[in-house]
Amino acid sequence: MSSYNNEQIQQYLTNNQNKARLLVSCSDQPGIVSAISTFLFEQGANIVESSQYTTDPSEGTFFLRIVFEAPGMKEKESEIREAFNDIGEKFSMKWKLTFLSNLKKTAIFASKEVHCLRELLYQWESGDLMTDIALVISNHETGREIVESFGIPFYYIPANKDIRKEVEAQQLKLLEEYEVDVIVLARYMQILTPDFVAAHPSKIINIHHSFLPAFIGASPHKRAYERGVKLIGATSHYVTDDLDEGPIIEQDVIRVDHRNGVRDLKKKGRLIERSVLTRAVKWDIEDRVIVHENKTIVF
């Protein structure tokens, strides 16, 4: 962990050492909330935050996010996880239990444009993005100075489509070495192979510089200008094998008009990209996102 904002991180870990988050999705049926509440009561836990949603009360899918706390949580991690297995099996749940004392490790992939990278670093420095930014990997040297000024390791790995497999082998080795939980593509302008994506399902967050599904792929601002759009936007989504078609986490737009050229659209677009990506990453590391089919439920 970088020592740059170590004091804020240690304060967060101290304040949340007895807290955990539970994400659940399963077929909607009677007794789910009751079973979970009873389980937490038996563990001596208190629910401090709860949100739920169902696609259809009669035959839909049920989603739940709970934050709870209990004395001595850190010592009981494995016990709680093992005990919840019975409920998970009873209701055929997909579930995820995260203990807040275990800070998630994040890797940022960057390229020549560093506005999204800078925003993530600033939000992290201020304590608004509570994660351990373990390393930054880039195919350009552009961001080295700012990254290293934060005390974060920077790895320059040149990349192009001809050496993609070799590049990804180096990247995967680093991700394993740093035990990374989340990968953020901060305008990393390289297409990942299916093997790379498969190794990190629903763990790779991308920012696309348009309001998807419009203008997928490269040069969306040029095509938006040619089309004469009145709104431009940005989309943050999980990466899948289908280019720019993964489950959408967050989107936003800004108004433009005929007086705005391609350069203006890019400038305005960068403002949205920074905020949209940061919100998506924040929601992911706070376990607010559940992927369902090709959509997301965001609590």
Q: What whole-number distance in Å separates Cα of residue 128 and Cα of residue 114?
A: 19
Q: What whole-number distance in Å separates Cα of residue 155 and Cα of residue 137?
A: 5
Q: Around 285, how many Cα atoms within 13 Å sit in the side-chain half-sphere? A: 25
Q: What whole-number distance in Å separates Cα of residue 54 and Cα of residue 59?
A: 9
Catalytic pick from 86, 195, 241, 244?
244
- The structure tokens listed for 251 are 């989107």
| 132 in active site | no
CB 83 within 8 A of CB 45: no
For the CA atoms of the chain, what is the radius of gyration? 21
Number of H helices, E strands in the chain: 9, 13
Cα–chain center distance at 178? 17
CB 236 within 8 A of CB 276: yes
> Looking at the annotation, which residues are catalytic?
244
